[in-house]
Structure 1
Amino acid sequence: MWSLAAFLLLVPSIGQAATLEKPILSLHPPWTTIFKGERVTLRCDGYHPLLLELRPISTLWYLGHLLLPSHKKSIEVQTPGIYRCQTRGAPVSDPIHLSVSNDWLILQVPYAVVFEGEPLVMRCRGWYDKVVYKLHYYQDDQPVRYFHSSANYTVPQARASDSGRYQCSGTMRIPVESAPMFSAKVAVTVQELFQAPVLRVMGRVQGRGPALGGVVLRCETHLHPQKRDTPLQFAFYKYSRPVRRFDWGTEYMVPEPEVEELETYWCEAATATRSVRKRSPWLQLPGPGSPLDLASTTAPVPKAAALAPANKPLSFRKPPVSRSVPAVTSVPNTTSAGLQFPSGRGPTAEPPACAPPTPLEQTAGALKPDVDLLLREMQLLKGLLSRVVLELKEPKAFPEHRETLETTSHFAVSQGTPETTAVES
């Protein structure tokens, strides 16, 4: 009879244990480093079976892999190590690493995880609570705060940039003022509360009657598992102008007339107190005829950037002009109209309607003024060289030009044109 009653009472516990969460282990006072000889209290809070169970409520305690003899909800400890607890049928709790120091100065940091937007408090403590003077706090070997005497270092709203290795230094009167002393370095990590949001296109909504349809945008983010109950608010922006201020809704519908404007949108997620705010990347809406018209209202766009027709990204920037000069085997003497182009297309041929210029056409258009100038300079140089050759053959035929040629031979053509070299007679 006893075994049957025990079985009936144990079955609900087994079914409930499948969905139990791990218990929460806390430390009092909330510092992970203590002086040698001090004691702290550990408390295990989690699921406990009903009082009708035949066995008494029990809690298991672990120091490393060693099972401690106590079964109470709270225990006092002074031994360094990694502590965990477990209630009946539940998983093992997250660990707490307790350090014991024999130094004159210790830096005490919180045992619990610090999330973005929460206060971060550190305490530089002297042996037997002696007052610490000329107190400095350091983050990654850089001083961040100075106090005349013992005081806590507090960051009201922690950020990811506050993570690092911290240390403190100061002097104590034992009995006279000592030289500066340094604590051991302690690692501090500020956990991300939620990820940076991403703005996605969810689909089109057709209007009914006088109501206008539009494109539905959703601002998506993910909270840390330990903070999944934290409420978040969302705001939406069109370029730099807010189109919907902070609200609890994660979606916003762009009216149909504004969809064709091809404007960029972005969203912002924040806590209710605005202690943590994060914005999404830019999103450009697709124009009419895009794949979005054929997508369902639940099919998200595969990328944050909108897609133009033919699956090419939209761009409003002028395409860059190539500065590379193609190899030229021959240059006509008279004009640049003789440049050869693929498929017989000349430099003045009009491109097809709605067809963007090819890279070769862009290069030819950019180089045309330079080629014309080069050809003119070559013609002048050819005429000048012809006169020089004739003068060398018949010096008496051009007596009036000899002085001019000698003067011209000592000057170079300006930058960007070929230089003229004098030919000595």
Structure 2
Amino acid sequence: MNASDSKSFCRVNRKKRLTLRDIFEVELRPGLDEVVSKQNPDPHQQMLAPGGRGHDDETETSEANAYCTVKSVQEEEKRFVIRPEVAFTPNLGKIFTGQSVIITCVVEPAVETSIFLWYKDSTHLDIGEQSFTIRHTQIYDSGTFQCRIPTGNISEGVSLEVISGYLILQVPASVYEGDDVFLRCHSWPGYSVRRTMFYKDQLELNPSVGDSGLLFKNVKRDMAGKYRCVKKAEQSRVATYSDESFIHVRELFSIPKIRVTPNPVMEGDRMTLTCYTDLNPLRQNTRLLFTFYRDGLNVQRFNLSNKYKILSIQLENSGNYSCEVKTSTNNVRKKSKEIHIQVQGCVLA
């Protein structure tokens, strides 16, 4: 048998170690340690090792017996953990008394529910709708609002402050990476001023929109902080009014993680790299693009697919792989950590 015949024989007849991820479809059932194969539904013929952690256990089989894939326990749990978010319309955390605001509980588009639970300052509200309106707000309408659905976790609190004073610094209640953020030093109608000053952490900033506005384009996480505006009364040289607000810049999508299947990777395998990231549910319409690198060199250009596949991987494909995610507008980009993939040579029969 010559070398080429040996290599062909190796590809056809070799056995490899496959994780349960390569073999079975796991159905998550709390309290059960069994994995039921869609190919063979008899739970007594397909059992996990003690502990039932399908993503950690391995079995030995030939390629011909691999019919389906397993979903990790973490991925299955994630499907059932839903955390909504509270949104204000207009998107302002501070308003004057008498103004109106619409408060909405935002969930992922795939979630189907008609029951919403609302809380203000941790006290349950008698509201069952997804959104409600507070008209002609008063100071007592101020508070921190949260929502949840029966099958999910409670949202983070979002604060509304209703002011009856002369001046408020209006900032968006929800700010995300890549947003353009407008800060408005808003005075009560009829209140005349002759100069507006902005500060962040005691550092003076120059207004960029008229006399009463400050615009930040493509904000980053480090733009978070305490902002303050000051206005001087036109009728007086000494009378000043000020207000401050805190800007929290939320993550648009998480730092990506790259995973490989199968694992380990053997010569001749069909290898798939997947780039995982979590897009914030309030920004589900954001278009994300994905790219992949090996040893710092691009192997797949940016596109909508979060997968990179090699149909028959070879030893020379070993290396350090990573992925990068960006918005279609190119204003937010994040790169994963590298993972080392060592392609293992097959054992000749």
Match of 2:189 in 1: 128
Secondary structure of the 1:161 match is: helix
TM-score, normalised via structure 2 length: 0.57
Per-residue deviation, 1:182? 5.5
Output one character per residue of 1:257-296: Cα deviation in whole Å (capped at 9) or x when no partner: 764365433210112222211011233332545xxx79xx
Residues 25, 93 of structure 1: 8 Å contact kept: no
Partner in structure 1 of residue 304 of structure 2: 248
Q: Which has the larger Rg?
A: 1
Please say if 1:200 is aligned against 2:259.
yes
Any gaps of 5 or more consecutive residues in structure 2?
1-79, 107-114
CA distance in structure 2 between the partners assigned to 1:222 and 1:263 by the alignment: 26
Query: CA offset at residue 133 of structure 1?
Result: 4.2
Q: Which amino acid aligns with 1:274?
A: N
Instruction: Give the Cα–Cα distance (whole angstroms) in 1 for the partners of residues 220 and 177 of structure 2.
Output: 5
Q: Does structure 1 retain, via aligned residues, the 8 Å contact 2:93–2:159?
A: yes
1:235 paired with 2:291, answer: yes
Correspondence for 1:389:
none
Aligned pairs for 1:171-210 within 5 A = 171-173=232-234, 175-176=235-236, 178-179=237-238, 181=240, 183-203=242-262, 204=265
> In the TM superposition, what is the alpha-carbon distance from 1:171 to its structure 2 partner?
2.4
1:270 is matched with 326
- Matches of 1:198 and 1:20, distance apart in 2: 21
Contact 2:145–2:159 under 8 Å retained in 1: no
- In 1, distance between residues paired with 2:187 and 2:308? 56
Q: Secondary structure at the match of 2:211?
A: coil
Taking the aligned partners of 2:328 and 2:99, their CA distance within structure 1 comes to 35
Gaps of 5+ in 1: 1-17, 48-57, 208-212, 295-425
Identical-residue share of aligned pairs (%): 25
Shift of 1:192: 0.5
Residue in 2 that maps onto 1:156: 217
In 1: Cα distance, 2:151 partner to 2:271 partner: 46
Query: What is the distance in 2 between the residues matched to 1:89 and 1:202?
Result: 35
- What's 1:105 paired with? 167
The structure in which a higher percent of residues are strand is 2
Local SS of the residue matching 2:243:
coil
Following the alignment from structure 2 to structure 1, what is the Cα–Cα distance between the partners of residues 233 and 289? Answer: 49
Alignment match, 1:79 = 139
RMSD after superposition = 4.4
What is the DSSP-based 3-state SS (H/G/I as helix, E as strand, rest coil) of the residue aligned with 2:189?
helix
Assess if the C-alpha contact under 8 Å between 1:107 and 1:184 holds in 2.
Answer: yes
Question: How far apart are 1:202 and its partner, in Å?
Answer: 2.1
Q: Distance in 2 between matches of 1:110 and 1:231?
A: 22
The letter of the residue matching 1:278 is K
**1:74 aligned partner, one-letter code:** T
- For the Cα contact (< 8 Å) 2:253–2:279, is it kept in 1? yes
Task: Determine whether 1:281 maps to 2:337.
Answer: yes
Distance 2:116 2:342 in 1: 59
Residues 99-144 of structure 1, C-alpha deviations (whole Å, 9 max, x = no match): 2445543211123x21212222211123435454443322222234
Residue 189 (structure 1) shift: 0.6
TM superposition score normalised by structure 1: 0.48
Aligned pair count reads 253
1:197–1:148 Cα change, 3 Å = closer
Q: Which has the higher contact order (CA 8 A, sep 6+)?
A: 2
> 1: distance between equivalents of 2:297 and 2:81?
46
Alignment partners' CA distance in 2, 1:105 and 1:43: 22
Once the two structures are superposed, what CA deviation does each residue of 1:239-266 show, in whole Å capped at 9, x if it has no partner? 3432211112222235767643654332
8 Å CA contact 1:61–1:68 kept in 2: the answer is: yes
Match of 1:26 among 72, 88, 112: 88
| Displacement after TM superposition at 1:160 (Å) | 0.7
Letter paired with 1:110: P
1:238: Cα distance to partner? 2.9
* Counterparts in 2 of 1:255 and 1:136: CA distance versus 1, 3 Å: farther
The verdict on how the C-alpha distance between 1:43 and 1:147 changes in structure 2, with shifts beyond 3 A counting, is closer
Distance 1:250 1:60 in 2: 35
User: Within the alignment, does 1:220 sit opposite 2:276 as a pair?
Assistant: yes
What residue is the counterpart of 2:54 in the other structure? none
SS at match of 1:106: strand
* Structure-2 change in CA distance of 1:102 and 1:39 (3 Å): closer
Point out the more displaced range, 118-127 or 71-80. Answer: 71-80
* Correspondence 1:118 to 2:182: no
Q: Distance in 1 between matches of 2:260 and 2:81?
A: 35
CA drift at 1:162: 1.2
Cα distance in 2, alignment partners of residues 44 and 121 from structure 1? 20
1:206 Cα offset (Å): 6.5
